[in-house]
């Protein structure tokens, strides 16, 4: 792989991905302090920056190899932090979280196999972004109901997170098909 220069590292799109990684710390701190409003604000800001980074990268020709790696890393780190906090808040969601963790580990393995074969990982697709968006919406709704109304409903939490899991598994299958095709094309 070629050496990155500062123009490829410090694009606005990449800075938005770095921001998402930085926002994990205040999110976790606020969440553990049960300051759900500020935790949700950090999460909403993270979600907005997630939506913007891809748009900015494509619109302003800032798609970089670093960005293709940094964006999913920021997603995975954010999702992992949220999952840990959610299990602390609502332990009943643990099975759903295990499925999400397995999916993300498989995605990381697939991406590392592409890089090992000197194949550039594909840019994020709509179904990956949709799964992430559904996760943010589900988590924000669960946390909002608990924070604003002290309302906890395990069935609602499981339904929301199960729908999110279904979308993320759909994304896993679709990305798996893309990874397989890229590896197949490289070996031909």
Tokens 């050496």 correspond to 3
- The pLDDT score that the predictor gives to residue 3 is 60
- What superfamily does domain 6-187 belong to in CATH? CDP-alcohol phosphotransferase transmembrane (TM) domain (1.20.120.1760)
Domains of the chain, residue spans: 6-187
C-alpha to C-alpha distance for 110 and 104, rounded to whole angstroms: 10
C-alpha to C-alpha distance for 66 and 175, rounded to whole angstroms: 19
Mind spelling out the 3-state secondary structure of 7-63? HHHCCHHHHHHHHHHHHHHHHHHHHHCCCHHHHHHHHHHHHHHHHHHHHHHHHCCCC
C-alpha to C-alpha distance for 128 and 27, rounded to whole angstroms: 22
- The pLDDT score that the predictor gives to residue 188 is 72
- The pLDDT score that the predictor gives to residue 27 is 95
Parts of the chain with a pLDDT under 50 = 1
Q: What would the DSSP string read from start to end of 148-164?
A: HH----HHHHHHHHHHH
């Amino acid at each position: 792989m070629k050496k990155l220069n500062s123009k490829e590292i410090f694009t606005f799109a990449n800075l938005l991905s770095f921001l998402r990684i930085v926002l994990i710390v205040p999110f976790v701190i606020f969440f553990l302090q049960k300051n759900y409003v500020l935790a949700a604000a950090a999460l909403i800001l993270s979600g907005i920056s997630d939506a913007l980074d891809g748009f900015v990268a494509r619109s302003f020709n800032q798609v970089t190899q670093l960005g293709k790696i940094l964006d999913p890393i920021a997603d995975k780190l954010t999702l992992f932090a949220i999952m840990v906090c959610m299990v602390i808040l609502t332990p009943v969601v643990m099975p759903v979280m295990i499925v999400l963790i397995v999916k993300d580990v498989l995605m990381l393995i697939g991406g590392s196999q592409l890089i090992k074969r000197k194949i550039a990982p594909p840019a994020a697709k709509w179904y990956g972004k949709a799964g992430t968006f559904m996760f943010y919406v589900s988590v924000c709704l669960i946390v909002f109901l608990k924070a604003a109304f002290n309302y906890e409903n395990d069935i609602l939490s499981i339904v929301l997170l199960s729908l999110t899991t279904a979308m993320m598994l759909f994304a896993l299958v679709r990305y798996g098909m893309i990874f397989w095709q890229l590896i197949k094309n490289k070996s031909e």
